[in-house]
Amino acid sequence: MNDYRRIPLRPAYAEPLSNPLDALLADIAINVQLPPGLHAKALARFSAVREYLGRSGSPLEGQIVRFYAQGSMAIDATISTRGTDDEFDADAVVELNVAQGVTPSQVLDALYEALKDYPVRKVLRQTRCVTLFYSDGMHIDVTPSRRTGFMEIESNIFHAKPGETQRQHAEIPMNAFGFANWYNLRTPAEETFAKAYEARMHEAYESLAKTDPIVHPMPDQTPLPIKSVTTVALQIIKRFRNVWSIDRPGRYPPSVMLSCHAGHAAAPGMALSDMVIRQARWTARAIDIAEAGGRLLDVRNPEMSTDCFTDRWPENRSQQREFALALHDLANGLEQIRQGGLELEDLKDWLRDRFGPRVVSRSINALNDRNGVALRSCTHRYTSTGGLLVPAAPAIIGATRSMAANVAPRPHTNMGDRWP
């Protein structure tokens, strides 16, 4: 067994969010995930797009086999795509009855023709999908596919970048449906954590709905999606990835790769901060092993080995080394906070650098409201069991440079691509 899999487990707290670091991380996840109102709206929009594609006179009339969510939407791990936290990306697959001989560019062009007049702010034909940009900041990536085997979940998607020659176009093996099922089976909700996180979500959304229209006020007793510790930690890792990528050109680590590693790293009974550390180490050490072998990271769909999650990232070894260092830095910092405590002001600054100022400010304020702790008191710091100690601990010095968290990262897709 590879050494990056041998990560010691520590027991979770009896009260999952009683530790301040776990509570802060939970608040960060809540503040960047798709709010309940927008989650329901995304599902309604999926249905509307499916109906529009199959309408009478559509280029795809009678050609649609199925339409389903993929990526983060399928595993309930969607987060905001920008540092301003007002844009969300949802991914769907439209399986088509594509005849043999039809080229990838013809399929994508037909999908664009079917959607170009859809009533949204903008419709953009991409390399592997067509993106619908809504006026409220939501984007839906619609990826066409063609079934390839006896199992309906095994398909090809179509790669045809505008401006490339037809020789550069290709069909890419894909099994998004099977991967989502694999992930969901490996990450069932744990009752104690689920109850604590659900209560925290209700508390946060009731507060935010008063001042933030994106949340959309919910009726009383609205059921919220119950997440596992693994999925909440995955959302935190994805947020870290987004902020880390702000000033870096080119592609960056795809969500589906991080989701795959999260599924492999899933383990019951862990505290949220421990699971974030575990996932960060899992990906970082997988990259370390690839580096030791002088190769690029290669992550495959556990349900279909020909479905490569890293076919477009990393683009080079330098790129993967930088991300591994950043993940180790994140894990090291969280471990130091858990073991030795940190001044509240230093903790705030450290978190802002890694998760963005707006989200962290909200989370810190929520913690203060619950605990009555004043951030201006620089003599206070947390212990690993949630208490306060004096005097203050030394500040964390990260292994990588500070991130420009006040700049919004460019929007991205589930596979690590960026929109222009």
The residue to which tokens 């649609």 are assigned: 64
How much of the chain, in percent, has pLDDT values that exceed 70?
76
- Hey, what amino acid is at 141? D
Q: Are residues 256 and 383 in the same domain?
A: yes
Select which of 22, 141, 274, 329 is catalytic.
141
Specify the number of domains making up the chain. Answer: 2
Residue 417 within any structural domain of the chain: no
Choice between 392 and 335, residue whose per-residue pLDDT is larger: 335
Tell me if 412 is assigned to some domain: no
Note the pLDDT of residue 338: 84
Q: How confident is the model at residue 66 (pLDDT cuts 50, 70, 90)?
A: very high
Predicted local confidence at residue 88, as pLDDT: 84
Token digits for 341?
């405590």
Catalytic residue selected from 22, 76, 85, 91: 91
What values do phi and psi take at 314, rounded to 5? Answer: -75, 150
pLDDT digits (tens, 9 = 90+) for 155-189: 999 999 988 888 899 999 999 999 999 999 999 98
- Per-residue pLDDT at 273 exceeds 50: yes
- What's the pLDDT score for residue 417? 54
Q: What is the predicted pLDDT for the residue at 83?
A: 46
Query: Looking at 136-145, 195-204, 300-309, 337-346, which range is the least confident one?
Result: 337-346
219 and 356 in a common domain: yes
Mean pLDDT value across residues 137-165: 88
Give the residue with greater pLDDT, 74 vs 341: 74
Are residue 129 and residue 261 in the same domain, yes or no? Answer: no
Q: For 37-59, how does the pLDDT look when each residue is reduced to its tens digit (9 = 90+)?
A: 777 888 999 999 999 999 999 99
d(CA 135, CA 418): 19
Q: Evaluate whether residue 413 is within a structural domain.
A: no
Taking Cα atoms as reference points, which of 13, 196, 339 lies closest to residue 331?
339
300: CB partners within 8 A, 6+ apart: 306, 307, 308, 309
Q: Taking 70 as the threshold, does the pLDDT of residue 413 lie above it?
A: no
**373, part of any domain:** yes
Is 182 within 8 Å of 302 (Cβ atoms)? yes
Closest CA to 184 of 47, 75, 312: 75
Has 86 been annotated as catalytic?
A: no
Per-residue confidence (pLDDT) for residue 179, from 0 to 100: 95
Q: Check which CATH number belongs to the domain holding 179 and give it.
A: 3.30.460.90
Residue 391 has pLDDT above 60, yes or no: no
89 classed as catalytic: yes
Kindly tell me if the per-residue pLDDT of 385 is higher than 90: no
Q: Any idea which of 19-28, 244-253, 337-346, 394-403 has the lowest mean pLDDT?
A: 394-403
141 is known as an active-site residue: yes
Q: Same domain for 41 and 26?
A: no
Q: Which of 86-90, 217-221, 345-349, 405-409 has the lowest mean pLDDT?
A: 405-409
Q: Which domain holds residue 344?
A: 3-33+188-389
Which residue in 27, 85, 89, 417 is the catalytic one? 89
Alpha carbon distance 88, 78 (integer Å): 7
pLDDT value at position 162? 85
What is the structure's pLDDT at 134?
94
pLDDT band at 10 (very low <50, low <70, confident <90, very high): very low
Residues 355 and 296 placed together within one structural domain of the fold: yes
